[in-house]
Amino acid sequence: MFPLGYQDTDHKPGTPTLELKHVTVAYSAIGSSFAQDVHYALKDVSFKAEIGEQIAIIGPNGAGKSSLLKLITGIIKPESGQILMFGQPPSQHNCIAYVPQRNQIDWSFPVTVEDVVMMGRTRQIGFFRRARPLDKDVVKASLKRVGALELAKKQIGELSGGQQQRVFIARALALETHLLLLDEPLSGLDLPSQEAIFEILASLRQDGVTVLMATHDLNLAAERFDKVLLVNKRIIAFGKPEEVLTTENLLAAYGGKAQNSQMAVSA
């Protein structure tokens, strides 16, 4: 996946792909400056994601799943704590790819599929510079890998939801990512489209790409991922699915909704 010799920041040997140390994201109530009106999107979050691991991030609505992904990408800043990628701050790396929720994207924007994927090459090309033949080859290879090469000339808004998600994963591949973050990528997709996404993610293991994916589907978290990160403003549990998806942990995260969540996992 990385045949081009693109030089990202040096990765310190023996370090995890991602490590968060006591990270807190705080915000104040609108119009208030009182300390007691401070709320937390995330509080004292610590965990490690090793090279090649695939981790599901689960929790109720408003638990901080999206905030955690945006925190790692640098879209939002922590109040305190430390975030490291291969032993250094993520800002020193160019190999983090983020796929946001589909409802956050303007699908009416007049851009072709290959243009979207080429956006993943911006850091390598540089702003206001023309794409090189090498960059075009990477875009083509990335689209081929996700089974979307025949869509290259289509407008992104013409595609189905599953095709759009595959294109955005192709954009991440074109970036030559080592850390892929996906925010509810399966939302609204039919089962064949979901399966296509998981086949692509499974193929990334051979490249050592670490994957973090926010999802509401506890069954998928249990069946498809190496580890599960259960959050509700803080980390409730982190580890293998069978260790995390217990009645006690689900009660701590979901409260009164935990019974239905447990039934979904057990079904």
94-110, pLDDT tens digit by residue?
788 999 888 888 888 88
pTM: 0.86
| pLDDT at position 190 over 60 | yes
| pLDDT at position 81 over 90 | yes
pLDDT score of 47: 97
pLDDT score of 7: 43
pLDDT score of 164: 93
In total, the chain counts a number of residues equal to: 267
pLDDT score of 256: 67
| pLDDT at position 154 over 90 | yes
Closest CA to 58 of 198, 205, 249: 249
Q: Measured between alpha carbons, how far is 120 from 137 in angstroms, rounded to an integer?
A: 13
| pLDDT at position 124 over 80 | no
Closest CA to 254 of 245, 266, 241, 267: 245
Q: How far is CA 103 from CA 107, 154, 187, 188, in A?
A: 9, 20, 10, 10
- Is residue 124 within 8 A of residue 6, CB to CB? The reply is yes
3-class state of residue 220 by DSSP: helix
Q: Measured between alpha carbons, how far is 195 from 8 in angstroms, rounded to an integer?
A: 31
For residue 52, count other CB atoms closer than 10 A to its CB: 16
User: Mean pLDDT score of the chain, rounded to an integer?
Assistant: 86
| pLDDT at position 4 over 50 | no
Helix ranges restricted to H, 127-237:
133-145, 161-174, 191-203, 218-224
Q: Measured between alpha carbons, how far is 143 from 84 in angstroms, rounded to an integer?
A: 30
Q: What percent of the chain has pLDDT over 90?
A: 64
pLDDT score of 93: 67
Taking only the tens place, the pLDDT of each residue in 251-266 is: 999 986 655 555 456 5
pLDDT score of 132: 81
pLDDT score of 233: 95
Which tokens belong to 179?
């850390």
Cβ-proximal residues to 126 (8 Å cutoff; 6+ apart), any chain: none
pLDDT score of 2: 43
pLDDT score of 265: 61
pLDDT score of 32: 45
In this prediction, residue 3 has a pLDDT band, given cuts at 50, 70 and 90, of: very low
| pLDDT at position 53 over 50 | yes
Taking only the tens place, the pLDDT of each residue in 9-21 is: 567 778 899 999 9
